[in-house]
A and B are shown apart, each in its own frame.
Chain A
Amino acid sequence: MAILVIAEHTNVALGAATLNTVAAAKAIGGDIHVLVAGAECAAVAEAAAKIDGVSKVLSADNAAFAHQLPENIAPLIAEVGKNYTHILASATSNGKNILPRVAALLDVDQISEIIAVESADTFKRPIYAGNAIATVQSNAAIKVITVRGTGFDAVAAEGGSASIEALTVGGDAGISAFVGEELAKSDRPELTAAKIVVSGGRGMQNGDNFEMLNRVADKLGAAVGASRAAVDAGFVPNDMQVGQTGKIVAPDLYIAVGISGAIQHLAGMKDSKVIVAINKDEDAPIFQVADYGLVADLFEAIPELEKAL
């Protein structure tokens, strides 16, 4: 068996999620190759070659791949992927965008967001916002899979010495173009990679009050997240959303502040190692999953917490 892992990257740096996806590939077992499709992405290919357990890196360096447009990249992956038994990508916004297009080009079903590998053809994945876990088996010749990073412990980024092979296939399909990008600039760690996450909900009352959480987060080296209710209310942007329809996180410590604990939100954070809930409503469902619950007014508790850290 040979497994093709699609690297997550920014053209200059390898995305951490790739290490979790390689871990899933290791659990399946077989020769692991990593495809780096990008533009002027040599540094990424070199980083990928050092990943523990990777035997070959395929580097497709082409201006058409600069912005990961699926119209250009999916045909490349489908072409290269024909020679593999499995094609894996991280269940990031990029992986989710591209891989189903690849699966359809190969005329195979995709298995989304696996959290465990039972065998080379059998996987576990959450459905209904994580309220049920399905075990699914695929008899497709090529198994196309996205991997939820929180289900697999990252492999070491160093230690491997894979060969790098340059690919010259692919180009611009000519039906889509990149216009622009607005990326949130933050010195805080990325939500899905942070060891500690502090999240606020509707109880925060407005966007300005999130500044209180930012200060706590900065003391803890944490990322700041939000519930869908807080996003819907316009307090904070959607890329901060933790939940079924937002980001799935599983940090060592998750602090939920003014979050009631809707199913939708729990789906995005209940695999965290330690959960703290601060809410003034002692009947809030969030307390049913919290290791440590504090029934208190967050506007008193959060400044106090900031001082105590």
Chain B
Amino acid sequence: MTKKTTGRLKESAIRAFFFACGVLAVIALLGIFATLISTSFPAFKDIKLSEFLLSKNWDPTSPEMEEYGILSMIMSSFIVTLGALLIAVPIGVGVAAYLSDVAHWRVREIVKPVVEILAGIPSVVVGFLGIVLFAPLISKIFNIGHGLTALNGSILLAIMSLPTIISISEDSLTAVPPAYGEASLALGASRWQTLFRVKLPAALSGIIAACMLGMGRAIGETMTVLMATGNARTFPQLPQALLRSVRTMTANIAIELGEVPYYTAHYYALFAIGLVLFVITFVVNLVADVVLHKYQEREL
């Protein structure tokens, strides 16, 4: 009987240990959130929240008048990300459709790991290639002084978010019940029509989620944009902005955190940018998650 009790105790202890490891994920997420909030909070003793979010001017080291407006950076982040999605979504969904519906399974077996290789290239290497490969090309094509522009960043981020978009879109296309496609083919539709009119709409929520996840990754990407977009502190005006230098939120943190004196308004303001970034990516990922889940439940 005592052996039995100690046995049970041991089982519960082991269970509790694994549970603690599982709960750590929740604690980590809350911890990051709490840290960002508590560290950005002091910033708003000196800076008005409305100025922070709505002013276009960011000049924390100005001798006369320090300015803390991040609207330009928010806009820059969005423009670069939007550009990336405009490039990556059609190509990514196209590749996914090709893999799921056209390609021989052998091609698929080879291409999928190859796409994973693309996902494995470190962002700093992608940024480096942006400097040495794409930027000179852009400067030549558009006849501008240098190619370190928003467009350059968009192209690179598109390349980086492609693997996410491809693999999740492909999964959701493959998850469409075969009966849908068969029904359409039986009515005399071609494979192309079936793919376009039946399968893509049926997989739409998964594809949207894939694009959102790709977007989340692009907004939060740091090294690539830091290296490849020139980092000029100006407010981006569309459409010229694509061919100008921009400074995103992530790049700004990376540039200034190394040089900022600790525990100043500027220091706290950088954490506040981090908080804004966290909230944006959190919302994007959450929406993607909800969309993806809805669609998975429907499949079940």
Instruction: Tell me, yes or no, whether A binds B.
Output: no
Chain A residues proximal to chain B, CB less than 8 Å: none
